[in-house]
Structure 1
Amino acid sequence: MEKAKEILTHVTHTFYPVVGGIEKVIYETARRQAKKYEVYVVTSDKNSGQIRGQEFTVKQIRSLRFFNMPDLTYPLGHDEILAKSNIIHFHSQNSLFSIKLLENSSRFKAKKVFTLMAVDSLKDHPNKIIRTLSHFYSRYTISKVLTLSDALIVKNERDRKILREKYNKDPYLVPDGIDELYFNFPYSENFKKEKLKGEDYILYIGRLHKLKGVDILIESCRFLNTKVVFIGPGNVEYYKLLSRKKGVGEKCIFLGYLSEEEKISAIDGSSVVVIPSISDYVEAFSLVLSEAWSRGKAVVASSVGSLTYRIRNGINGILVKPNDPKDLAFAINKIINDKELARKLGEEGKKEVMGWDKVISLLDGIYNKLKNE
């Protein structure tokens, strides 16, 4: 008789069809781990949907959401699968949903793993109310994570340093992976030929949101002699109107959501990929950086969050001051005008990228160590 698989459960406040970094990472992780484990994803009933025909099962818990903020999602009870799990992997210390279910699971036999993201980043949040309350909220959530978790994971050296120096903890470092498609997909400039009629452009990939620096990038267009392509979900009409108000409407092209193949072709055809975020809070890892690097593309990014630690300025990318349209434009123009520099930055960045197989192997090593303790 075949031995039953151990049960591995991921806990996250939102999941597909919500589009975002944490949702994508958990999805890619869970479906690969299903080869070895019986995998579940426990999430809220807010803005999430049942995935059918996949290798893992999604369980939804009835929840409340305060102030329409995903991080402030409160679970009303817990799913029975948590009590049956061998390993429970929680995500994001800023998530009230994850923290409350970690508390509820403290009496269960499962080993509890917690991935922390953008540690202590709420204190630089642009929202004054969030900044004001962040000290009390973060102190509460961090204390629960450090007390109740059997293993801690971070995605980057920034968070690892904070946990070591401020909290006297030594977490495991496990970056997010990149789909094999990004390594294997043939180089293509079809996007440039078909969408841009051969014109040069720089590329933004991600949510259209103020914290992601979209407003700053639009403002910087006044100092750029190239078009800017925006790929990702969000209020497209608002940003189209904003670009017209700033007098750069003809330079800004908003395409919304694209398939992975189209996105790869867009990266290939671009002059540079730009990550203009303005807050540590939204840059816990940056899959976009890895995606651009995997294609050997030069990147200009704000000096915030994990970007400051992953990018070595002038070696594998260019870092600029956040919230500074002129500084951003200067760096972009520098790369556009120096193709050899662009090539070198992209080649160095490519050395930093990790595939999902390696990530899954690292996680499995952590799980096995816990089970053997």
Structure 2
Amino acid sequence: MKIIQVSHSFYPTIGGIEKVVYEISKRLSKKHEVEVVTSSKVPRDVSFPFNIIRIPSLNILGMSDLTIPLTNRIETMESDVIHFHSQNSLFSALLLHKNQNSVVSVMALESLSDHPNPFIRRLSPVYNRLTARKIIKISKTLIVKNMRDLKMLRERYGRPAHLVPDGVDDKYLTTGKTTSFYDEIGENYVLYVGRLHKLKGIEVLLKASRWIKSKVVIAGPGDLKYYEKLSRKLGVNDKVKFLGYIDENVKIKVIDSAELVIIPSVSDYAEAFSIVLSEAWSREKAVVASDVGSLGARITHGRNGLLVPPSNPRILAETVNQVLDDTELRTEMGLRGRKEVVGWDTVVFKLEEIYRGMEK
């Protein structure tokens, strides 16, 4: 098949949607002709095993979702399937047309209504009509990543959808357990891994670290200087260690050596799926997470993780300490979580079935 993947952002930008598009395109390109259509605002990087097409675009307010394509090159491109990623993307909404053989990955549906920015919250109903409602109405096939969005699509929009979760790299499922990172960090620490961004709740975690009964390790790219300064201001800089960006091999070691993984996000918008949750589960780690977005749909409280209200440092710390004090609970939740994880090859197999069904 000739398959086009459409995303307003792509590598070398680091994030969930970029990783998803890369992982599925890489695997699909082994059997099919694949092209990724993205914005001209995406920097050029190393070559990929598939073609990258950058459409001239404008970006509003520095927000990647607010990327406006200046031309609709897709209209003239031949393909069997065009897969658009995110109904929140203005880029996708302006490129999608009714006559296309289109599939759309719906993620974090109607999530802007709880955004911390009051300006974005006020504009969310209008933006939802311009993007999500249009995309959901005219797309041929819909895909969701979790039960939250599946239920919302059925009840509020009257549309069915295929449930296809995101995957994890094979190495997370096959690499033997390691504790080699103890030498560099020391034992007894809890871990956050992901982007250093306000929506990810880093400030909440830093405040909670005052009461957490272990060291707190924070790994991931972002404004490292800002959060290091904040940790000093809060008086927790001796307790918190920042690792910055780490590659996948190091990430596995850091997860393996941690007592548990924390996902303290503050908004539904920030958690369309959470690959980090899958990565933690794949290494049989217990997870304490905010009850936002897909996290509440994927985690069964007390069974494969614990959920806490967002933006509440005290409750976050108390819950983390509860898990630290209960080795049996940590082990059981990690083992149950492992059963929820799939690899990218399984994801791509499901996508191929959906794509072929659209040809009929």
TM-score, with length taken from structure 2: 0.98
Aligned to 2:273: 285
**Which residue, out of 146, 161, 164, partners 1:156?**
146
Residue 3 (structure 1) aligns with? none
Does structure 2 retain, via aligned residues, the 8 Å contact 1:42–1:79? no
Deviation at 1:85, TM superposition (A): 1.5
Say whether the 8 Å CA contact 1:154–1:174 is kept in structure 2: yes
Matches within 5 A, 1:112-123: 112-123=102-113
Q: How much does 1:330 deviate?
A: 0.7
The reply on whether 1:365 has 2:359 as its aligned counterpart is no
Counterpart selection for 1:137 from 100, 122, 127: 127
1:46 is the counterpart of 2:34 = no
Which of 321, 332, 350 aligns to 2:309? It is: 321
Superposition deviation, residue 355 in structure 1: 1.1
Q: Please tell me the residue identity of whatever aligns with 1:48.
A: P
What residue number does 2:91 align with? 97
Counterpart pick for 1:11 among 6, 22, 33: 6
Alignment counterpart, residue 79 of structure 2, candidates 79, 82, 85: 85
Q: Percent of pairs identical after alignment? A: 50
SS of residue matched to 2:5: strand
Q: Secondary structure at the match of 2:281?
A: helix
SS in 1 for 2:177: coil
Q: What is the correspondence of 1:312-351 to structure 2 with a 5 Å cutoff? A: 312-351=300-339
Per the alignment, residue 183 of structure 1 pairs with: 173
**Counterpart-to-counterpart distance in 2, 1:253 and 1:212:** 17
What CA deviation, in whole Å up to 9, does each residue of 1:278-311 have, x standing for no partner?
1000101000000000000000000001000100
Deviation at 1:79, TM superposition (A): 3.0
Distance in 1, Cα, partners of 2:346 & 2:149: 20
Structure 2 gap segments, 5+ residues each: none
CA gap 1:36/1:324 in 2 versus in 1, 3 angstroms: same
The residue number in structure 2 matching 1:266 is 254
C-alpha displacement of 1:141: 1.3
Q: Which amino acid aligns with 2:71?
A: G
How far 1:276 moved relative to its partner?
0.3
Cα deviation for residue 50 of structure 1 reads 4.2
Distance 2:299 2:44 in 1: 35
Contact 1:51 1:58 in 2 (8 A): no
Unaligned runs of 5+ in 1: 1-5
Distance 1:51 1:229 in 2: 31
- How many equivalent pairs are there? 360
Shift of 1:84: 1.1
Q: Partners in 1 of 2:329 and 2:298 — Cα distance?
A: 18
Shift of 1:351: 0.5
Question: What amino acid is the match of 1:252?
Answer: V
Aligned to 1:56: 50
- TM-score normalized with structure 1 length: 0.94
Q: Which amino acid aligns with 2:55?
A: I
Relative to structure 2, which stretch is displaced further, 283-292 or 33-42? 33-42
